[in-house]
């Protein structure tokens, strides 16, 4: 009997190629798409700017028809709003820079689809993420590993997946480059082979993050003071939610040297700025730590740490500090370490775990 697998199909080339490859490998493939936004929203913007819209679902449906596999659409807009969008909005209102893709991958994409797969009697779920799943026989634990293609690697946004989820995941894109994936899709005759990638957040398809936030948390756009580290007032800002740590443009301050956002203080409604060298961080505190390749930290651990999705891995030392972790970098990280972003820990190409920068 063939092993069955549900493939999360977004209508893009990666998930479409994943479905094709798994069918070719002998799996009994079932396509499944998540409907996270109402039709009227995504039909108002160009198709090249959308992801998870009604039109993307129709692209996924056409690929499923081409591959002659069953296809289901799962309504997820209510949960997506409460778990992903509300978290995103609340983070900006609190002066943090969120990463909604991390939350979505665990709670929505993987969480919901694994439940739906089980309802169909299917134990495996595949996605088009550029990453792999590994099993450590010594530790008896699953973990995510980085993709072969460093420009497409998505291991960073998968660090929250549980052992139960990982035990059922299939990630066929981990050993492929994007160029090869498009070739495979063309060879299979898939209409999405040359479909552009979505470059914006799926729920802000026009890229207007400030417009999106102003409509939901107008109080986060109350003007306030821009100050330096000493508290000296240098100007006025347009609202805490309009700024992120490391930002240089848009401050509206005449100064002898370029100024950057160092901190956001929502309690005092202040934006703290300084010069570029003031952004360097030798350490950071990480909360809500989720371990993957190891069960936990029993003593200080040396590893590599990413503090942003497209950032480099930095050699560092992890030290338990009460309920949180202290990450001590070998060399100061330039460009700003942003509260609200994820710090993901690596041992070579394997994800050890991660947490939120506090």
Per the listing, tokens 């934006």 go with 271
Single out the catalytic residue among 42, 51, 52, 202.
202
Q: Which residues contact 77 (CB under 8 A, 6 or more apart)?
A: 35, 36, 37, 38
Q: For residue 273, list its beta bridge partners.
A: 261
Single out the catalytic residue among 52, 104, 284, 303.
104
Q: Which residues contact 64 (CB under 8 A, 6 or more apart)?
A: 9, 19, 31, 70, 71
Q: Which residues contact 357 (CB under 8 A, 6 or more apart)?
A: 284, 285, 286, 307, 337, 338, 339, 340, 341, 342, 343
Closest CA to 113 of 57, 159, 169: 169
Decide: helix, strand or coil at residue 71. strand
Distance CA 278, CA 189 (A): 53
Q: CA separation (Å) from 147 to 128, 140, 171, 191, 229? A: 12, 22, 10, 25, 41
Angle between helices 54-67 and 13-24 (to 10 degrees): 20
Q: Would you call 104 a catalytic residue per the annotation?
A: yes
Catalytic residues: 104, 202
């Amino acid at each position: 009997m063939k092993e069955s697998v549900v493939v999360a199909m977004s209508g893009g080339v990666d998930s479409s190629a994943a479905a094709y490859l798994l069918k070719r490998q002998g799996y009994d493939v079932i396509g499944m798409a998540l409907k996270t936004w109402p039709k009227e929203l995504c039909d108002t913007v160009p198709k090249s700017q959308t992801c998870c819209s009604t039109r993307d679902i129709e692209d996924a449906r056409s690929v499923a028809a081409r591959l002659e596999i069953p296809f289901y659409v799962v309504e997820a807009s209510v949960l997506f709003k409460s778990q992903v969008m509300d978290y995103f909005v609340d983070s900006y209102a609190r002066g943090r820079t969120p990463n909604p893709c991390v939350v979505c991958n665990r709670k929505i994409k993987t969480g919901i689809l694994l439940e739906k797969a089980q309802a169909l009697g299917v134990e495996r779920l595949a996605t088009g993420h550029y990453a792999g799943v590994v099993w450590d026989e010594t530790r008896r634990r699953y973990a995510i590993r980085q993709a072969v293609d460093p420009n497409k690697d998505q291991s960073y946004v998968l660090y929250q997946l549980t052992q139960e989820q990982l035990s059922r995941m299939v990630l066929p894109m981990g050993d492929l480059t994007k160029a090869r994936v498009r070739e495979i899709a063309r060879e299979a005759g898939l209409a999405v082979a040359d479909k552009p990638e979505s470059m914006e957040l799926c729920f802000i398809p026009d890229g207007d993050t400030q417009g999106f936030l102003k409509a939901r948390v107008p109080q986060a756009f109350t003007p306030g003071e821009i100050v330096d580290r000493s508290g000296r007032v240098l100007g006025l800002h347009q609202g805490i939610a309009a700024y992120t740590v490391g930002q240089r443009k848009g401050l509206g301050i005449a100064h002898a040297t370029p100024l950057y956002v160092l901190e956001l203080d929502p309690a005092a409604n202040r934006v703290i700025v300084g010069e570029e060298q003031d952004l360097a961080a030798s350490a950071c505190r990480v909360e809500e730590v989720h371990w993957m390749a190891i069960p936990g930290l029993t003593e200080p651990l040396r590893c590599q740490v990413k503090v942003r999705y497209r950032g480099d891995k930095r050699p560092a030392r992890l030290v338990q500090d009460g309920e949180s972790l202290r990450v001590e970098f070998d060399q100061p990280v330039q460009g700003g370490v942003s509260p609200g972003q994820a710090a993901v820990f690596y041992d070579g190409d394997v994800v050890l775990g991660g947490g939120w920068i506090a």
